[in-house]
Amino acid sequence: MLGMLWWLLVVTAGIIVQSQVPGVDFLAAGFVLALQEERWTKPLWFALAAILIQEGDGSLAFGSGLVWYGALAAMYFFGHYLFEARNFLFMILLGVCQGAMHILLSLTMASLQDWSVLPERLWLEAIVQAVVFPMEWGLLYIIYHNLPLSHARTV
């Protein structure tokens, strides 16, 4: 029960913060934290919720959320064989990759919809994503591993 409450709180906080900083995904760090638990059910449910939120909230064509979280999972699984999965430097690398992916995915989806994108805003969003992701992951990681949720992690 406490485990479900924790993940609900992570999603709710991510939605609130994301509404204040458009263009930056604040649910990605929670998804990576769920992946680090090495149980398939948590990341699956978290990704499903995040994709539904991103697809419903965003203005890009359907599929960008699937590509975003699919690529994030692929980067995590590929990278965790090369690096320690809970290493802050690995999270910085994931953040930089997310920033680059934000530019690539936004330009691709915008071109499919015949939209024009302001390059300055796109670069700013990508930089913010790259900088915020490792810090957010670090904060979530510290809170998750220091709260009395030891029995809740098995949920």
pLDDT digits (tens, 9 = 90+) for 26-83: 999 999 999 998 788 888 888 888 888 877 766 566 677 888 889 999 999 999 888 8
Count of domains for the chain: 1
Alpha-carbon distance of 138 to 115, in angstroms, equals: 35
pLDDT of 149: 58
pLDDT of residue 151: 46
Q: What is the pLDDT of residue 23?
A: 79
From residue 101, how far is each of 3, 8, 75 by CA, in Å?
30, 26, 11
Q: Which residue has the higher pLDDT, 147 or 154?
A: 147
Domain enclosing residue 85, as ranges: 2-154
